[in-house]
Amino acid sequence: MVSDKELAEFLFPEVKETIEDLERRFPPRKLPEGAEVTRFAPSPTGFLHTGSLFTDMIAYYVAKQSGGVYFFRLEDTDTKRTIPGAAGELIDQLFTFGLGHKEGYFVDGDKGDYGPYQQSKRADIYKVGIKYLVSIGRAYPDFCSSEDLEKIRKAQEESKVIPGYYGIYARDRNLSNDERVERIKKGEPWVIRFKSLSDHDRKMTFHDEIRGDLEIQENDIDVVIYKSDGLPTYHFAHVMDDHFMRTTLVSRGEEWIPSTPTHLELFSAFGWQPPKYAHLPVIMKLDHGNKRKLSKRKDPEAAVSYFLRQGYPVEGVKLYLMSIANSNFEEWCIENKKYILDGFKFSFDKMSLDGALFDLDKLAYFSKEAIAGMDIESFYGQVASYAKLYDPELEAKIELDPAYFKKILNIERDRPNPRKDYAKYGDILPLVAFFYDDEYARKKEAGLPFDPAFDRDFIKEFLNDIADNMAYGPDEATWWNSVKEIASRHGFATVNREYKANPSAFKGNMAAASSLMRVALTGSKDSPSMYEIISIMGKDRVHLRLQKALD
RNA sequence: GGCCCGUUGGAGAAGAGGCUUAACUCAUAUCCCUUUCAAGGAUACAUUCAUGGGUUCGAAUCCCGUACGGGUCACCA
């Protein structure tokens, strides 16, 4: 008779380490009371998803706020789906969002004492756990092929019974160890399943940091914990890793709620204290009147790279995500008169339970606030690096004359209520293109939108007078007064009240007069403060544009 | 289909038996300010909290059913 212990030894003769050895190798972290150890643990199967960024941001802030640790673990046990290079990209994006880690996996090597932080490199560690579970009779080799499993599932479907590998359907659960050894010796492929002692008809409760106490049926399915490729499944890796990496709080998507009982049973089979769990709502999207998960295939905004490419400021995206996480965050921003994350106390119990609909309008709002809150140097820096990466046309304009561009960016920003017309860096160029002579020339060619109520000669005369005689400084009032004076000479009313009282006595009001100037200067009827535009463009360019507007 | 989670305006939500004629924010609309635009200021926008019943003097708030939405049932995470 082969004992469980002997079976374990037979299965994993190369494994010499024990659980106790691992406990010594990865001792509990020395952290102050209340400090949380959190982690971000993505799979390198594609680009960073907006929902993952959300989850990650919360893990990051929980650790930061509590004075704990936040680390990064690469969950690459699914070798078939792993995409080369994805991990590096993921990490780069995390860092550009200011959510970079100090401990964990890096492309050029791990940092930290609890590694390796890449699951595919932890096979030895997992085997220690698997061997232990086999040795105490809580795990066993299973010889079912995918066809066998399919047959079982079909039979279950026909008899309308819950599908899964459990109870009488767990075919190899009660094999004798002797038979197991024999079949393995014969070369039959096998996996290891966890032997669940739970009862499907019983309920268990566990506490969720967001949802409170959840009551769920126990899990009685014998899940696969060790795959035929020698790597563990998520369930097992989660338990081993978060135990030995000493994670105190696991934040993950709500899709994990149903498998939490399995994880808890695994923890208890080892006799370990499970971490706290926070199951986060998933970000949704409205599609033909139905909510659905943000999908990377259908929704561009599902990939974090979308925001980067569009030029949304990363702070704006984070602000928006935080407002979804804790809606009192907005009130906090308003109270503090600043839109920043630092200093806000995130809390799980302020979190709503169902998934928020992704709202681009609100993202734009927060992005405008984020941009308005930057000082000009960092704003300029952000725009410049955005241009470099994503917008060669913008980059060319910037390089033409960085100082000029910086002044343009700064229009009407140095004031209590700064201008907020950019939600993303991609919005900038179309709005400021007129500052550049080539773009202006293009507009001119297409025809400047002068008010047809005025004839050409009149406009020309007026503009010439303005060009030659207006004050080009030293302050806005002086300039404006001079403009008014000239306008008055040409029959415009300088006081709107007078114009309204007797419109036929005038050519128009100052709105009409300045519209002519604006069109000549910018090629468009709308623009920021004309005085600032003139100051930035400089006298020569302004003079030229006013004079040649009608040529 | 079983199980789990959820359901307050176009969106994010506050609300935890009487203080709610349902806060706040975004969006939208109108007005004000104004040399245009942006910004800013003001006002409007749920007679009602998915729905049906119940408990109660009193319910968005408690209980039950129904509907709807989402999630999950892999050698994927």
Q: Which residues in window 352-381 of A are less than 7 A from strand B by Cβ?
A: 352-357, 359, 361-362, 364-365, 368
Residue A70 placed within a domain? yes
Shared domain for A267 and A142, answered yes or no, is yes
Residue A226 placed within a domain? yes
Q: A306: buried, middle or exposed (CB in 10 Å: 19+, 13-18, 0-12)?
A: middle
A525 touches strand B (CB under 7 A): yes
Which alpha helices (DSSP H) does A75-117 contain, by range? 86-96
CA distance A326 to A334: 14
A43 touches strand B (CB under 7 A): yes
Mean of the per-residue pLDDT values of chain A: 91
Residue A225 placed within a domain? yes
Shared domain for A10 and A156, answered yes or no, is yes
Give per-residue pLDDT as tens, A388-402. 999 999 999 999 999
Check whether A288 has a pLDDT greater than 80.
Answer: no
Q: What b/e string do you get for A171-198 counting C-beta neighbours within 10 Å, with b at 16 or more?
A: ebbebebeebbebbeeeeebbbbbbbeb
Q: CATH code at A517? A: 1.10.10
Shared domain for A116 and A38, answered yes or no, is yes
Shared domain for A308 and A411, answered yes or no, is no
Shared domain for A441 and A532, answered yes or no, is yes
Q: CATH code at A135? A: 3.40.50.620
What contacts A351, CB < 8 A, 6 or more positions away?
A210, A280, A281, A325, A326
Q: Which residues in window 48-67 of A are less than 7 A from strand B by Cβ?
A: none
Check whether A76 has a pLDDT greater than 90.
Answer: yes
Which alpha helices (DSSP H) does A340-375 contain, by range? 360-373
ipTM of the prediction? 0.93
What's the pLDDT score for residue A227?
94
Q: CATH code at A302? A: 1.10.1160.10
A172 touches strand B (CB under 7 A): no
Shared domain for A346 and A408, answered yes or no, is no
Q: A133: buried, middle or exposed (CB in 10 Å: 19+, 13-18, 0-12)?
A: buried
Q: Judge contact between A97 and A91, C-beta under 8 A.
A: no
CA of A67 to C1' of B15 (A): 32
Domain that holds residue A351: 287-373
What's the pLDDT score for residue A218?
86
CA distance A519 to A478: 21
Compute CA A406 distance to the chain's CA centroid, rounded to the nearest angstrom: 28
Q: Judge contact between A64 and A296, C-beta under 8 A.
A: no
CA of A353 to C1' of B59 (A): 22
Shared domain for A200 and A94, answered yes or no, is no
Shared domain for A259 and A154, answered yes or no, is yes
What's the pLDDT score for residue A289?
67
Give per-residue pLDDT as tens, A491-508. 999 888 888 888 888 888
A254 touches strand B (CB under 7 A): yes
Q: Judge contact between A53 and A251, C-beta under 8 A.
A: no
Amino acid at A301: E
Nucleotide nearest residue A162, measured CA to C1': B2
**Preceding amide of A28 cis, omega within 30:** no
Lowest mean pLDDT among A79-88, A155-164, A271-280, A397-406: A155-164
Give per-residue pLDDT as tens, A48-58. 999 999 999 99
At residue A225's C-alpha, the angle toward residues A224 and A226, to 5°, is: 100
Nucleotide nearest residue A512, measured CA to C1': B35
Q: Which of A87, A121, A155 is the last residue of a domain?
A: A121
Q: Which of A121, A150, A167 is the last residue of a domain?
A: A121
Residue A224 placed within a domain? yes
CA of A353 to C1' of B8 (A): 14
Residue A23 placed within a domain? no
Shared domain for A248 and A128, answered yes or no, is yes
Residue A173 placed within a domain? yes
Nucleotide nearest residue A522, measured CA to C1': B36
Q: Which residues in window 476-515 of A are less than 7 A from strand B by Cβ?
A: 476, 480, 496, 510-511, 514-515
What contacts A288, CB < 8 A, 6 or more positions away?
none
Residue A431 placed within a domain? no
Our count of domains for chain A comes to 5
Give per-residue pLDDT as tens, A364-384. 999 999 999 999 999 999 999
Q: Which residues in window 423-482 of A are less than 7 A from strand B by Cβ?
A: 476, 480
A220 touches strand B (CB under 7 A): no
Residue A20 placed within a domain? no
Shared domain for A414 and A459, answered yes or no, is no
Best CA proximity match to A262, nearest among A217, A207, A313, A294: A217
Nucleotide nearest residue A148, measured CA to C1': B75
Q: Judge contact between A96 and A127, C-beta under 8 A.
A: no
Q: Residue A298 — pLDDT band, cuts 50, 70, 90?
A: confident
Strand segments (E) across A359-454 = none
Give the phi and the psi of residue A332 in degrees, each rounded to 5: -60, -45
Best CA proximity match to A193, nearest among A216, A168, A162, A171: A171
Shared domain for A389 and A405, answered yes or no, is yes
CA of A340 to C1' of B51 (A): 42
Q: Judge contact between A194 and A259, C-beta under 8 A.
A: no
How many CB atoms lie under 10 A from the CB of residue A392?
A: 10
Give per-residue pLDDT as tens, A502-535. 888 888 899 999 999 999 999 999 999 999 999 9
Compute CA A22 distance to the chain's CA centroid, rounded to the nearest angstrom: 35
Q: Residue A319 — pLDDT band, cuts 50, 70, 90?
A: very high
Amino acid at A164: G
Strand segments (E) across A117-180 = 139-142
Q: Which residues in window 376-405 of A are less than 7 A from strand B by Cβ?
A: none
What's the pLDDT score for residue A271?
95
A191 touches strand B (CB under 7 A): yes
CA distance A342 to A376: 20
CA of A354 to C1' of B7 (A): 9
Q: Which of A104, A121, A138 is the last residue of a domain?
A: A121
Shared domain for A234 and A95, answered yes or no, is no
Coil, strand or helix at A205: strand
Q: Report the nearest residue to nucleotide B35, CA vs C1'.
A: A511
Nucleotide nearest residue A356, measured CA to C1': B12
